[in-house]
Amino acid sequence: MISLRRRAVAGGMLWAAITIFLGLAGLSSYTLTATKQRFTDQVANQHTQVVVALGNYYENIDALRRTIADPVYQRPFSGQYWQIENDQGLLLTSPSLVETLLPQPSAPSEGIESREFMGQNGERLFGVAQWLTLDGESSWHVQVAANVQTLDAEIADLRRTLLLAFAIICSVGIIGALVQVTVVLQPLNDLRADVKRRWDEEAGMQPSAYPIEVAPLVTDINTLLKRNQEIIGRSRRQAADLAHAIKTPSAIMRNELGALQTRGVAVTDAMNALDTLDAQLKRSFARMRADGSQNAMPVITDGTETLSRMARAFTALARNAGRTLSSDIAPGLRVRIDKSDLEEITGNLLDNAMKWSTSHVHLNAARSGNKIIIKIEDDGPGIADVDKTLATQSGQRLDTVKPGTGLGLAIVDDLVHAYDGALTLGQSAEHGGLCAEITLEAARSKASR
């Protein structure tokens, strides 16, 4: 999978590294050139000082020595040297040369010569030399030399400093690239979070809350979601219309079969087949209605209000059937499910509990973490463990004595799974009969927004 973050980070890091490298390479070249030039200029300046001193005091050797008595020339092998000699055999050297000498001068020539050479003590030296004629008679050769290792050490220190600077700037550049990419891609992260959060907000996203580059995408997502909602809405309405259209022919057939039965015609099999057909159609329509609802739109139902209304309705039915129904419904329950589907699930389970209970049915609904747990318990015979899987399969009647089609739990199971929920059939610890437990995803309460 292509990652925009990786591309942006890699591109930013590469560009930053190239820019920094070229910049530091130019700076390094300039600095090293300037350092070498400064070194040669320093040797040239020292040579000039010795030449000036010689021109002023060539007749007074003691004064000459005092004039160029820089402390660096006094320390043995300090790396800074001078040497003066004339055509009469006079030789003067700086104390720093100790007992060594600089190379013998070449034949007299004009101009200043500069070159690198090896000293007698193994030092690499850079020297500046010149032949001078004083008073138009005597010729003097003046040499000044400096140890190149001093320059090498300075260049090495400079390179280490530049490399450290390069590492620091590269680190800052990489961190800057990461921060920049994070800031640039943050609107996409916000968009992702908003798309996920829209199921809680029950509203579209606001394009104005995003940068102008992302706003068109938000608009397109809103349009796509709206069209999807319209398609699902039309499908649900068509399923409802089809179910309503089939009810009338089914009722007519049921009335005709009833009329035949009153005249003594055996129509039991036909009535059972019609009941099965009605139940199967009901299950199919329930599937069509629930299919895609939780993915097409933010379907949220006030579970407390819906379950309380169902409890009131079935309380009256229980009274008429000689049974009692109690309920314990927590306030503020908001469930990710369509209202009619929640009523279908609860109605089927309560109807099943009423049918098989002996005297009492209990409805409990509460929130646990991010789930809503709905339990419907009765004091009937329950369902054996080996039959619990069959109970949720199409048309599996575990007892033919009671009226029904055997599709009630199958419809409940279909609807619950359509909303990524779970149906668990167990034994009621308090009442001894069946405990049907429904687990559905909870939505955030309005107060927490």
Transcribe 203-224 into DSSP letters: S---GGGS-TTTHHHHHHHHHH
Do the Cβ atoms of 367 and 419 come closer than 8 Å? no
Whether 30 contacts 130, CB under 8 Å: no
Report helix, strand or coil for 113.
strand
Q: With beta carbons less than 8 A apart as the criterion, state whether 353 and 436 touch.
A: yes
Amino acid identity of 169? Answer: I
Tokens matching residue 39? 């070194």
Contact 266, 324 (CB under 8 A): no
Half-sphere exposure of 307 (CA within 13 A, CB side): 30
Helix (H) or strand (E) holding 48: helix 4-57
| Three-class SS state of 75 | coil
Phi and psi angles of residue 217, each rounded to the nearest 5 degrees, phi first: -65, -40
CA dihedral 368, 371, 372, 378 (to 10 degrees): -80
What's the mean pLDDT in 208-215?
A: 78
pLDDT confidence of residue 346: 93
- Distance between alpha carbon 428 and the CA centroid of its chain, in Å? 46
Phi, psi (rounded to 5 degrees) for 159? -65, -40
- Domains 4-153 and 298-449 alike in fold: no
Q: Which of 11-15, 276-280, 329-333 has the highest mean pLDDT?
A: 329-333
Give the H/E segment covering residue 326. Answer: strand 324-329
More confident of the two residues 318 and 274: 318
Question: At residue 375, what are phi and psi to the nearest 5 degrees?
Answer: -120, 135
| Mean pLDDT in residue range 330-352 | 90
In terms of pTM, does the model score above 0.85? Answer: no
Q: Name the β-bridge partners of 146.
A: 80, 126
Report whether 46 contacts 67 (CB < 8 A): no
Assign domain 298-449 to its CATH architecture: 2-Layer Sandwich (3.30)
Residue 360 has pLDDT above 90, yes or no: yes
pLDDT at 273: 80
What's the pLDDT at 359? Answer: 92
Is residue 199 over pLDDT 70? no
Rounded Cα distance between 149 and 159, Å, is: 15
Between CA 11 and CA 181 the distance in angstroms is 10
pLDDT tens-place string over residues 25-37: 888 888 888 888 9
Residue 110: count of CB within 10 angstroms of its CB: 8
Give the amino acid at 228: N
pLDDT at residue 213, rounded to an integer? 77
Name the residue among 150, 197, 172 with its Cα closest to residue 36.
150
Q: Would you say residue 116 has pLDDT above 70? A: yes
CA distance 442 to 371: 5
Helices (H) and strands (E) in the chain, counts: 11, 12
Closest C-alpha to 211, from 231, 194, 188? 188
Closest CA relative to residue 418, chosen from 319, 326, 286: 286
What's the mean pLDDT in 212-231? 79
Q: Which CATH architecture has domain 4-153?
A: 2-Layer Sandwich (3.30)
Q: Side-chain half-sphere of 110: how many Cα atoms within 13 Å?
A: 0
Q: Is the pLDDT of residue 101 over 70?
A: yes
Token pair, residue 341, equals 């589907």
Angle at 28 between CA 24 and CA 34, to 5 degrees: 145
Cβ contact 185:5 at 8 Å: yes
Distances from the Cα of 34 to the Cα of 22, 94, 115, 144, 171, angstroms:
18, 28, 18, 21, 27
Task: Quote the CA–CA distance of 445 and 440 in Å, as a whole number.
Answer: 15
Strand partners, 143: 83, 129
CA-based end-to-end distance of the chain: 34
Confidence band for 145, pLDDT divided at 50, 70 and 90: very high
pLDDT tens-place string over residues 284-314: 666 666 655 545 556 788 999 999 999 999 9
Q: Where in the chain are the domains?
A: 4-153, 202-297, 298-449
Residue pair 232/295 in contact by the 8 Å Cβ criterion: no
Q: How many residues are recorded in the chain?
A: 449
Q: Choose among 371, 375, 290, 299: nearest CA to 333.
A: 371
* Run of H or E including 339: helix 339-356
Closest CA to 277 of 310, 303, 251: 251
- DSSP-derived letter for residue 448 is G
